[in-house]
Amino acid sequence: MTWPPSRELDLYFEAPAPAGLPGETAPRTELEIDGLRVVVLGVEDLLIDRLRAWVHWKSDEDGRWARRLAVLYAGELDWAYLRSRATDARERTALASLEPNAR
């Protein structure tokens, strides 16, 4: 679920499913910002989520974000993890199309 921007904090946030639900095994990082606990998903999980929306829902905006994340975090992404998360042929093909652009 994505929430509208916070005018006080100048940010958007998205609420992922709670850890422990089936299929929710993504690594998470906990940060504290101005006394608030913030749980952050890894870039890989954000990328794979956008890639799936691009592939399955034909969302050009999500495709743009998947490509942008691949370029911005090229040197930091765990491509083996991403490949393990791509569950069907269309996802694997889309992911493979991002790898050369990210290097």
Enter the tokens of residue 26: 């993504």
Residue 69 has pLDDT above 90, yes or no: yes
Please provide the average confidence, as pLDDT, over all residues in the chain. 83
Confidence tier at 102 by pLDDT (50, 70, 90) = very low
- DSSP line for 9-72: TTEEEE-PPPTTSTT----EEEEEETTEEEEEE-HHHHHHHHHHHHHHH--HHHHHHHHHHHHH
Confidence tier at 19 by pLDDT (50, 70, 90) = low
Domain segments of the chain: what residues? Answer: 2-41, 43-102
More confident residue, 7 or 78: 78
pLDDT digits (tens, 9 = 90+) for 79-88: 999 999 999 9
Q: How far apart are CA 96 and CA 39, in angstroms?
A: 29
> Which residues face 2 on adjacent strands?
14
- State the helix-helix crossing angle for 60-72 and 89-102, rounded to 10 degrees: 40
Which residues, other chains included, contact 21 with Cβ-Cβ below 8 Å and sequence gap of 6+?
Answer: none
